[in-house]
Chain A
C-alpha cells in the first residue's frame, strides 16, 4: 500500500497532466493526501472486519450459500471503492445494498410465500411433519419397565452431550443411554442411593437439579433408541420406554394409528394428512398451493363477502380522509390567507402543532377520548354513544381522528400553493366582473389542484395502508359475531396483520397474498394518478 502512495505522489508531482486512472487505494486520478488515504483504509478495514464477523456464524452452521453471498458482496464493495471508474456506483451502493436486503428480498419472499400454505401447522417439510406427528403420539410400551433416571453428561454441565443414567428398579441393573443407544454399566463403576437413583458414575458428570432444569426442553426432546421404540424422560427422575402410536407407512403414504386403526393419507396438494371423512391432522407441511390463496378471495363465500366489504371501506377510508382533510385545510387556508390580517403567523404555528405531535400516542389519546364510559367526548357532549360499538359510529370516529391528524398538513401545503398563485390572475378575474366564488372555482381551484395533485395521490396511498390509524383507534372493530377476523373498520393491512400475528394461528401464506393485493391496488392507483399529473415524464 505504501508503495502505491509513493508512486502516485511522485507521479503527481512530476507530470500532473498525464494522470491515468489506476486501481488501488490512491485516488481515481492517481493522487492522494495522507488524510484521505487514512479515511479510505479505515472504511475498507471496517468493512472487512464486519465481513469477517459475519462469516463465523455462517461457517459454524455450514451455511455455504450465505457465506458465498457474503464473500461476493464484500468483493464487490472492495472493487467499487478501489476502482477509479464506476463513480456513480460508489454513491449508490450503500443504499442499494440495504434496499435489496431489507426491501427487495422481503418483497420477493412475500410474493413467493403468497403461493404457499405457509403458516401454523404448515411450517416445515413433510419429513418434519411426520416426525412431529410420531413424537406427539408416543405412548408407553405396554408392560415395559419404568427406569429411575439421572441426567448426566460427558462434557460441560451447561452444554455437553446429554446421557441418561438409568436404573432398572426390578433387577438393579445400571445403564447409560445416549443418542446412539443403551449400554449396560458395570455395577462397580456406579454409586446409587437406596431408591436406585445413580449419584455418581465413572466418566460422567451428573447434572444438579438446577442445571437439569435449565436444559429441560432439551431433555424433554432427548430419546435413547431401543428395539421397541425409544426411552423418553418423564420429568427429571423417571424414564419409560415408549413407541409412537401413530406411525408413517411409506407403502400407503399414510399415517396409521396402531390402536384405533384409523388412517390419514397424505394430500400433496394441501400439505396435510387427511382421513376418509376429510378430517386433517393438525400437523401438516409447507407446499406450493399455486393461486389458491388468491382464488380463495374470489371463490370462498365467507372470505369473499368480508374481503369485498373491507376493500370498499378501505377505499372510503383513504379517499374520505384525503377529501375531508383537504377540504378543511383548504377552507382554513383561504380564510387565513388574507393580506393585512393580523396574527396569521400565530394561527399558522399553532394550527400545525398536531402535526409535530407523535401520531402514535395521539391516536391512543383519541381512542380514549371516544371511550364510552370514561371518554372526554361523551362526558363533554352529554352523549352516551358507544363509539366503537356500531359500524357507522366507529367509522365516523376513525375518520374524525384522521381529520384532526391530517388537516393541518393540508392547511400548510394549501397555504403554500395559494401564495404561489400569481395575484394578477385573481385580480384580473374580479376586474372582469367575476364573483369571488366563481373566480375561485374557475381560476384558483384548478391551479391549486395541479400543484397539489401529486401530494393528494401520495396522501391517498399512505392512508390506504394507514395501519396505526385503524389498529390503534378502533382495532378494526366492531366485529360481526360470526367473523372475528374482519371488523367493520378493518382495512386490508390490519386484516393482514391479524392473519399473520393475530391470536387465531398464523396464516402467513394467505396474509402474504393479501399484501400482494394491496400492492397491486396502490400501484395501479398511483401509476394512473402520476400518469395524469405527468410526473413520470419528468425524468431527465
Chain B
C-alpha cells in the first residue's frame, strides 16, 4: 500500500495535474494576491479623482491624473523627490566606495590590528546609528552653529551622517566576496609591476561589480526608506526627503490628502522598482550571502 503511494509522489503520470501542480499554482496565486493588493490599492488611490481615503477602492470607479497635478502644484514634492535622489545616490555611491576600499584592505593585506578591526566592525554594526539619535542631534546642533552648510536641514549633513554608518554595514559582506577572488590574480599583477592602486581599481573592482551593485542598490533603498534620522534632521519644507514630506502630508489631514499621498508614493516607488528589476539577477545572489535590507 505504502509502496504505491510512494510511486505516485515521486512524480509518475498517475497523480493528476491538480495533485502535482494545480495546488501549487493555487498557493502561488494566493501569495501573489497578498503581495499585490496593497500595491494595487495605492495605484488606484493615486488615480482616483476624488482623492480621499474613504472613496479609494482596489479598482478605482473613475480614473484621472488630478492627484498628480495637485501633488506637483500644491506641495513641494518635486523638491522632496530631488532631495531623496540626491541623498540616496550620493550616499549609496560614496559609501559603496569607502566600504569597498576598506574591504580591499581587510581582504588583501595583513597588518597589525586587522583582526581587532574586523571584530570591532562587527560590534559597531550591532549599535545601529539611529540608536545614538539623541547624541547625533546634539552634535549636529553644534555643527550647525559652526558650519550651517553641513548642519541640520541640509542634505549634506545627512549624507555625511549616513557615510558614518557605511563601514559597519557593508565591509563584512564585501570582504567575504573579495575573499572569493583568487589571490593569484593580484599577485601576478604585482609581479608585472602593478601598484596597489592599479590592482584595486583595475583588477579587483571590475570583478566585484555584482556585490557593488547589491550594496549600492540596498544602500539607495535604505536611504529612501530612512525615516527616523531624516525626520529629526530635516524640518524645513524645502530640505525634506520624500519619505518625511509625504508623512507630513497625511499626518494631519488623513482622509482628504490620501490621493495626493498615493500619487507621491507611486512616483517614489518608480526608481527603486526599476533599479530592482534591472539588478534582480545580482540581488538574489547578494541576499543569500547576507545582505539585509532595512
List residues of chain A with CB under 8 Å of any chain B CB: 27-29, 36, 54, 57-58, 61, 63, 66, 87-92, 94-96, 98-99, 101-107, 109-110, 113, 331-332, 335-336, 338, 340-343, 347, 349-362, 364-366, 368-369, 371, 373-376, 379-380, 404, 408-409, 411-413, 416-417, 420, 430, 433, 436, 454-455, 458-459, 461-462, 465, 467-468, 471-472, 493, 496-497, 500-501, 508, 511-512, 515, 518-519, 522-523, 526, 530, 536, 539
Given A455-B292, A472-B227, A508-B138, A465 contacting B124 (CB threshold 8 A): no
> Min CB distance, A440 to chain B, in Å?
12
Chain B residues with CB under 8 Å of A375's CB are: 53
The 5 closest A-B pairs by CB, nearest first: A102-B164, A356-B276, A106-B132, A109-B135, A374-B54
Cα(A96)–Cα(B165), bound, Å:
10
Cα(A501)–Cα(B235), bound, Å:
13
Chain A residues with CB under 8 Å of B52's CB are: 374
B87 at the interface (CB under 8 A from A): no
| Contact partner, A102, options B6, B122, B146, B163, Cβ 8 Å | B163
Contact B294–A462 (Cβ < 8 Å): yes
- B164 nearest CB neighbor, chain A only: A102
Contact B139–A105 (Cβ < 8 Å): yes
> Min CB distance, A445 to chain B, in Å?
17
Cα(A341)–Cα(B118), bound, Å:
44
- B136 nearest CB neighbor, chain A only: A106
Contact A518–B167 (Cβ < 8 Å): no
Given contacts A61-B145, A412-B287, A493-B130, 8 further A-B contacts (CB under 8 A): A88-B109, A95-B99, A102-B136, A347-B31, A365-B42, A374-B52, A404-B35, A523-B123
Contact B168–A99 (Cβ < 8 Å): yes
Contact B126–A519 (Cβ < 8 Å): yes
Residue contacts A-B, CB under 8 angstroms, 8 given: A87-B105, A98-B160, A361-B261, A412-B284, A493-B228, A496-B133, A501-B137, A508-B134
| Contact partner, A357, options B21, B24, B39, Cβ 8 Å | B39
Contact size range, B: 35 or more
> Min CB distance, B294 to chain A, in Å?
7
Contact B27–A336 (Cβ < 8 Å): yes
Contact A91–B243 (Cβ < 8 Å): no
B221 at the interface (CB under 8 A from A): yes
Chain B residues with CB under 8 Å of A88's CB are: 105, 109, 111, 114
Cα(A497)–Cα(B130), bound, Å:
10
| Contact partner, B250, options A331, A368, A420, Cβ 8 Å | A368
Chain B residues with CB under 8 Å of A106's CB are: 129, 132, 135-136, 139
Contact A361–B265 (Cβ < 8 Å): yes
- A28 nearest CB neighbor, chain B only: B195
Given A95-B167, A336-B24, A103 contacting B132 (CB threshold 8 A): yes
Chain B residues with CB under 8 Å of A103's CB are: 124, 127, 129, 132, 164-165, 168
Contact B288–A413 (Cβ < 8 Å): yes
| Contact partner, A362, options B128, B166, B247, B265, Cβ 8 Å | B265
Given A91-B102, A353-B35, A358-B269, A433 contacting B232 (CB threshold 8 A): no
Contact B123–A365 (Cβ < 8 Å): no
Contact A92–B135 (Cβ < 8 Å): no
| CB contact list, B106-160 vs A, under 8 A | 109, 111, 114-115, 117-119, 122-124, 126-139, 145-147, 160
What's the dominant secondary structure at chain A's contact region? helix
Chain A residues with CB under 8 Å of B254's CB are: 368, 371
Cα(A515)–Cα(B165), bound, Å:
17
> Min CB distance, A73 to chain B, in Å?
14
> Min CB distance, A46 to chain B, in Å?
14
B56 at the interface (CB under 8 A from A): yes
> Min CB distance, B137 to chain A, in Å?
8
Chain B residues with CB under 8 Å of A343's CB are: 25, 28
Contact B146–A57 (Cβ < 8 Å): yes
Cα(A366)–Cα(B258), bound, Å:
12
Contact B290–A87 (Cβ < 8 Å): no
Chain B residues with CB under 8 Å of A416's CB are: 284-285, 287-288
| Contact partner, A539, options B27, B101, B118, Cβ 8 Å | B118
Given A361-B268, A508-B138, A515-B132, A497 contacting B161 (CB threshold 8 A): no
> Min CB distance, B121 to chain A, in Å?
8
B209 at the interface (CB under 8 A from A): no
B255 at the interface (CB under 8 A from A): yes
From A63, A104, A409, residue with most partner B Cβ within 10 Å: A104
Contact A455–B258 (Cβ < 8 Å): no
> Min CB distance, B59 to chain A, in Å?
12
Cα(A416)–Cα(B127), bound, Å:
29
| CB contact list, B251-294 vs A, under 8 A | 254-255, 258, 261-262, 264-265, 268-269, 272-273, 275-277, 280, 284-285, 287-288, 290, 292-294
Cα(A361)–Cα(B81), bound, Å:
13
Chain A residues with CB under 8 Å of B166's CB are: 95, 98-99
Given A106-B135, A515-B132, A335 contacting B27 (CB threshold 8 A): yes
Contact B32–A358 (Cβ < 8 Å): no
Chain A residues with CB under 8 Å of B136's CB are: 102, 106
| Contact partner, A361, options B54, B124, B133, B243, Cβ 8 Å | B243
Chain A residues with CB under 8 Å of B272's CB are: 356-358
Given A28-B195, A459-B292, A354 contacting B39 (CB threshold 8 A): yes
| CB contact list, B20-57 vs A, under 8 A | 21, 23-25, 27-28, 31-32, 34-36, 38-39, 41-42, 52-54, 56-57
| Contact partner, B265, options A29, A96, A358, Cβ 8 Å | A358
Contact A351–B35 (Cβ < 8 Å): yes
- B56 nearest CB neighbor, chain A only: A376
B82 at the interface (CB under 8 A from A): no
B98 at the interface (CB under 8 A from A): yes
Cα(A351)–Cα(B276), bound, Å:
13
- B250 nearest CB neighbor, chain A only: A364
> Min CB distance, A510 to chain B, in Å?
10
- B255 nearest CB neighbor, chain A only: A374
B10 at the interface (CB under 8 A from A): yes
> Min CB distance, A416 to chain B, in Å?
4
Chain A residues with CB under 8 Å of B135's CB are: 105-107, 109-110, 113, 512
> Min CB distance, A348 to chain B, in Å?
9
| Contact partner, A351, options B10, B31, B131, Cβ 8 Å | B31
Cα(A362)–Cα(B221), bound, Å:
13
Cα(A518)–Cα(B130), bound, Å:
12
B224 at the interface (CB under 8 A from A): yes
Contact B164–A364 (Cβ < 8 Å): no
Chain A residues with CB under 8 Å of B25's CB are: 341, 343
From A349, A365, A458, A468, residue with most partner B Cβ within 10 Å: A365
> Min CB distance, A244 to chain B, in Å?
29
Cα(A284)–Cα(B131), bound, Å:
26
Given A358-B269, A539-B115, A95 contacting B36 (CB threshold 8 A): no
Cα(A519)–Cα(B25), bound, Å:
44
Chain B residues with CB under 8 Å of A342's CB are: 21
B177 at the interface (CB under 8 A from A): no
B246 at the interface (CB under 8 A from A): yes
> Min CB distance, B99 to chain A, in Å?
6
| Contact partner, B133, options A61, A98, A365, A497, Cβ 8 Å | A497
| Contact partner, A413, options B129, B200, B261, B287, Cβ 8 Å | B287
Contact B246–A364 (Cβ < 8 Å): yes
Chain A residues with CB under 8 Å of B165's CB are: 102-103
Contact A430–B10 (Cβ < 8 Å): yes
| Contact partner, A350, options B27, B32, B138, B227, Cβ 8 Å | B32
